[in-house]
Amino acid sequence: MNRFILPAGVFVLLVAVLAVGIQRAPNKTVIPSALIGKPAPQYLLPVIASSSPLQAVQFDSRSLAGRWHVVNVWGTWCPECRVEHPVLLDMAREAALPIIGLDWKDDDMAARRWLESLGDPYDVVVADREGRTAIDFGVYGAPETFLIDDRGVVVHKHVGAMTPAVWQRDFLARLPARAATTGGSP
Amino acid sequence: MSLRIVAVLLIGAWLAIASHTAGAIDPVEMTDPALQTRYRALTHELRCMQCQNQSIADSPVGLAGDLRREVRELLEAGKTDQQVRDYMRDRYGDFILFRPRFAANTLWLWAAPVVLLLLGLYAAWRVVRKRGALVATDSFDDEATRS
């Protein structure tokens, strides 16, 4: 009897370690962002669409300094982006904070058609035609949505389609009370 | 017998196609052979984040192509291999490195095989010692059961 105690103990330990591992990684396709707590990458990209009447040719991320905002990575080639689009429109109606669209490796005309037919939730949409800014953001699949604070630090990243629950829990809940009311269009 | 020949031919054909497509994924040839060697090595040790079990050298997806371009440009700009790895890790985390560095959060990854090996050696040592003890008492037990 005594000689079973050690193997059984090792087995139980192994099961415990594996169980904790599985519990803590409910979705192994979601890889935590390396950018959390670090400054968000800067970018200067051509504008595809803008809510501002004075539409600039290029958009500089530095113009967002001092403001909480959301960067949503999408593309017309991305089926999940179509799924999350109505949620983005609801977020835009709420107007809690500016939403920047990073159109990733896409065709500008296709993107404009998409925004015309489905609605435009973005304060500004910029074209990352070669995918360089996406790499700076550590993007590995669209859609991805980043929350960036007033110091320009990445606070959170959501991989996959945005849902109202995720928006409430992982984005709005992270805002300081006053930031939610000072948002607007860039 | 003929079935075996068919099987060999099929495997041969598959290998030929597989090696051909593997070569076609990344046709990049850098002018400097030394850079080309480093490029080959680096792209084989960076993970394709979309397919996860392939390196960016083996993957046909768009992001892998973009990351290969970054590696090429960084090498051409005179960066060291370590600087290229750090560049990728800053953006994608340790997960992008097939050979993760030794750090606090990767400690278990490196230590677990050694710990398991030591546990196995300890178990083996115990078993051998017990067996030895059994052999030493064997004749006595034998006679005891026989009588």
Q: How far is CA B111 from the centre of its chain?
A: 16
Does B116 lie in the same domain as B78?
no
Q: Could you tell me the end-to-end alpha-carbon distance of chain B, in angstroms, rounded to an integer?
A: 60
Does B82 lie in the same domain as B40?
yes
Average pLDDT over residues B10-26: 63
- For residue B4, is it within any domain? no
B51 CB-side CA count, 13 A: 16
Rounded to a whole number of angstroms, the distance from the CA of B138 to the nearest CA of chain A is: 19
Does B130 lie in the same domain as B110?
yes
Average pLDDT over residues A24-37: 77
Q: Spell out the domain ranges in chain A.
A: 35-182
Residue B79 has pLDDT above 90, yes or no: yes
Residue B18 pLDDT grade (very low, low, confident, very high; cuts 50, 70, 90): low
Does B107 lie in the same domain as B123?
yes
With an 8 Å Cβ cutoff, is B127 touching chain A?
Answer: no
Q: What is the pLDDT of residues B41-53, one digit of tens each?
A: 999 999 988 877 8
Please give the pLDDT value at position A165.
96
Contacts A33 to B, Cβ<8 Å: 93
Residue A180 has pLDDT above 60, yes or no: no
Burial of B71 by CB count in 10 Å (0-12 exposed, 13-18 middle, 19+ buried)?
A: buried
Please give the pLDDT value at position A186.
46
Whole-model pTM? Answer: 0.75
Please give the pLDDT value at position B23.
52
Please give the pLDDT value at position B76.
94
Residue B36 has pLDDT above 70, yes or no: yes
For residue B18, give Cα distances in angstroms to B25, B37, B63. 11, 22, 21
Residue B147 pLDDT grade (very low, low, confident, very high; cuts 50, 70, 90): very low
Does B107 lie in the same domain as B90?
no
Residue B16 has pLDDT above 70, yes or no: no
Higher pLDDT, residue A124 or B107: A124
Does B107 lie in the same domain as B96?
no
Average pLDDT over residues A157-177: 93
pLDDT, averaged across chain A:
89
Q: What is the pLDDT of residues A166-175, one digit of tens each?
A: 999 999 999 9
A35-182, CATH topology level: Glutaredoxin (3.40.30)
- For residue B116, is it within any domain? yes
Rounded to a whole number of angstroms, the distance from the CA of B92 to the nearest CA of chain A is: 5
Binary contact (A140, B91; C-beta < 8 A)? no
Please give the pLDDT value at position A183.
46
Does B123 lie in the same domain as B87?
no
A14: DSSP letter:
H
Does B77 lie in the same domain as B63?
yes
Q: What is the pLDDT of residues A134-144, one digit of tens each?
A: 999 999 988 99
- For residue B72, is it within any domain? yes
B8 CB-side CA count, 13 A: 5
d(CA A13, CA B72): 46
> What is the identity of the amino acid at A89?
L
For residue A126, give Cα distances in angstroms to A131, B15, B25, B29. 12, 44, 30, 32
Does B80 lie in the same domain as B38?
yes
- For residue B141, is it within any domain? yes
Does B108 lie in the same domain as B93?
no
CATH number for the domain harbouring residue B40: 1.10.8.640
With an 8 Å Cβ cutoff, is B40 touching chain A?
Answer: no
Residue A1 pLDDT grade (very low, low, confident, very high; cuts 50, 70, 90): low
- Measured between CB atoms, which of A3, A35, A135 is closest to B70? A135
d(CA A41, CA A33): 13
Counted domains in chain B? 2
pLDDT, averaged across chain B:
82
Residue B137 has pLDDT above 80, yes or no: no
With an 8 Å Cβ cutoff, is A130 touching chain B?
Answer: yes
For residue B83, give Cα distances in angstroms to A45, B40, B74, B88. 26, 16, 9, 9
The last residue of a domain, from among B85, B101, B117:
B101
Query: Which domain, by its residues, includes B142?
Result: 103-147
Residue B108 pLDDT grade (very low, low, confident, very high; cuts 50, 70, 90): confident
- Measured between CB atoms, which of A105, A131, A141 is closest to B50? A141
| Lowest-confidence segment of A168-172, A181-185, B18-22 by average pLDDT | A181-185
Nearest CA to A65 among A42, A92, A91, A90?
A: A42
Q: What is the pLDDT of residues A76-117, one digit of tens each?
A: 999 999 999 999 999 999 988 999 999 999 999 999 999 999
Does B39 lie in the same domain as B73?
yes
- For residue B8, is it within any domain? no
Q: Are A148 and A70 within 8 A, CB to CB?
A: yes
